Amino acid sequence: MNYEIIGGSFPAVKCTLAKGEVMKCEGGAMSWMDRGIEMSTEGGGGLGKALGRAFSGEKIFFNHFTSTVDQAEIVFSSSFPGCIIPIELQAGQTIIAQKDSFLACEKSVDVAVHIHEKVGGGIFGGMGFIMQKFTGPGTVFLEIDGSLQKYELAAGEVKVIDGPHLAILGSNVQYTIERIKGAKNIMFGGEGLFNTIVQGPGNIWLQTMPLSNVAMQIAKYIPKSD
């Protein structure tokens, strides 16, 4: 599978498939494709995973697109202005991503629900209780809100993050929350009550324009009904 990211701030990924290659996505991600590609709708890997996806509010089924010819093109478009990042996973390598970031992946990538193990982290950490876990081998394409900044954290290295800006983290990265100190900071600082603390080793991917923040800004201009 070869791919090219197109579209600038309104991105899409154009994948060129050899005969027999398969891409999978959730419903609605495919934008256009050549006639030499066939679609089939299949479950997400067994009853347990299907129930987990249903519980989390994710779609139970994936669409599989199989190329019947060489050099067949299929395009998957982002749902929000930002960027699409390809992450090539080795066999057994895992990343954790915010819910709704998944765009498409090779069939070999396992897509599962990841539940945050700590109540506080799930409520206040920005990524929520329910996240997505991707395990290789294969390439997965994820949507980032706004622009992207990647950090490779050394062992013990810490970043303090306004929660919604944390989009993806490696499975070895520790992820906790910390209350902002000082009553004046909490009441007048405008930074909320909590920050997300990540500690290496491992990679993290941050986004500059979280969709939740955009929604709050838009809400300010929506007239309230009496």
**Tens digits of per-residue pLDDT, 200-222?**
999 999 999 887 767 666 777 67
Please provide the average confidence, as pLDDT, over all residues in the chain: 83
Q: Write the Ramachandran bin of 46: left for phi over 0, alpha for psi from -120 to 50, otherwise beta.
A: left
Are the CB atoms for 115 and 129 separated by under 8 Å? yes
**Tens digits of per-residue pLDDT, 86-143?**
999 999 999 999 888 999 999 999 998 887 655 444 444 445 557 899 999 999 999 9
Return d(Cα 137, Cα 139) in angstroms, integer: 7
Residue 85's pLDDT is: 95
Residue 187's pLDDT is: 47
Looking at the whole model, is its pTM more than 0.85? no
Q: What are the b/e assignments for 128-164, b being 16+ CB within 10 Å?
A: bbbbbebbbebbbbbbbbbebeebebeeeeebebebb
Is the pLDDT confidence value at 156 over 90? yes
Q: What are the b/e assignments for 208-225, b being 16+ CB within 10 Å?
A: eebbebeeeeeeeeeeee
| Domains defined for the chain, CATH in brackets | 2-219 (3.60.160.10)
Neighbours of 125 (CB within 10 A): 25
Are the CB atoms for 220 and 214 separated by under 8 Å? no
**In what side-by-side order are the strands of the sheet with 202-207?**
110-115, 130-135, 94-97, 166-170, 202-207, 148-153
Pairing of the two strands 82-89 and 194-199: unpaired
Residue 14's pLDDT is: 98
Residue 122's pLDDT is: 44
